[in-house]
Amino acid sequence: MKKNSKIKDYLKLVRINHYLKNVLIFLPIIFSGNLFNKEKLINVIIGFIIFSLISSTIYIINDIKDINNDKAHFQKKNRPLASETIKIKEAIVLFFILIIASIILIYFSSLNIKALLYIIIYIIINILYTFYLKNKPIVDITVLSSLFVIRVLYGAAIINVEVSNWLNLTIMSAAFYLALSKRNNELKNTIKAREVLKYYSNDYLNKNMYMFLSMAIIFYSLWTIDLKSVTKSSNYLIWTVPFIMIIALKYNMNIEQNKDDNPIEIVLNDKWLILLIAIYGIIIISILYIS
């Protein structure tokens, strides 16, 4: 039992559930019509694994840096380092194991220079955020949003395809919405959990998060129209817009009722929301590859 518990603690430390964010890496291969290209798909899967391992090292650095603040947080106090179920020395050992594993995978993979550049940019931005930028109002939200866009650009670089401007704007707007909603829930449910929260108000965050959500839906709609060149059936993608609206409505209901400030946890704790997203994914694949 203790061994299984320790494994669970390590999985929590590396934020394995946050790998869900890295699914964005697959968007370019899906919407470029290359999902069933075996060579490209394998490259993207390897790229996903590398990116996930790198992101886990960032989470370890962040948890070591914020260990004292996490201990005072009503939710984060249960993190492995804050609760001391994993020692800092153990976390550092795991950090180096993940770094070595990432380097080995990069060495034997076929990642091009452009894809590697996005990984480096992702690392640099995260380190700057962890040690400095997270306490700068608006900058903190912009940085969090940029990390989502980097994932998409990285996925496109792996298979050497261009990312639609509408896709970039959709992801960017949706990312701003998620970052603002995260700060909004943090402000509602914690007291001085982050230094940057003193610069925000719930009214300010609410107005801006829903502005970006509206923009994301508009850009997504324009993207579906612009995607006609992939297959003839791409014309039907416009009918997925109402589905996106329903997903947004369900997510908004969750953030109004849920004390969790983490978008991933909000999604994973709602079976209906997971079902809606899964159905949306099936519809997209069916339109692009089966119709």
pLDDT digits (tens, 9 = 90+) for 131-144: 989 899 999 999 99
Tokens representing residue 145 in the block: 């949003």
Helices (H), the chain: 2-13, 27-31, 38-65, 67-71, 88-108, 113-131, 139-158, 165-189, 202-226, 241-257, 263-268, 271-285
Identify whether the C-beta of residue 32 lies closer than 8 Å to the C-beta of residue 160: no
Q: What is the pLDDT of residues 223-240, one digit of tens each?
A: 988 876 555 556 788 889
Q: Is the pLDDT of residue 177 over 90?
A: yes
Q: Is the pLDDT of residue 5 over 70?
A: yes
**What do you get for the CA distance between the two ends of the chain, in Å?**
49
Share of the chain above pLDDT 90, in %: 62
What's the pLDDT band for 192 if we cut at 50, 70, 90?
Answer: low
Measured at the CA of 105, the angle between CA 101 and CA 109, to 5 degrees, comes to: 175
**Which pLDDT score is estimated for 230?**
53
DSSP state letter for 137: T
DSSP string covering 169-233: HHHHHHHHHHHHHHHHHHHHH-SSSSGGGGG--HHHHHHHHHHHHHHHHHHHHHHHHHGGGT-GG
Region 2-18: mean pLDDT is 85
What's the pLDDT band for 185 if we cut at 50, 70, 90?
Answer: confident
The pTM (predicted TM-score) of the whole model is: 0.91
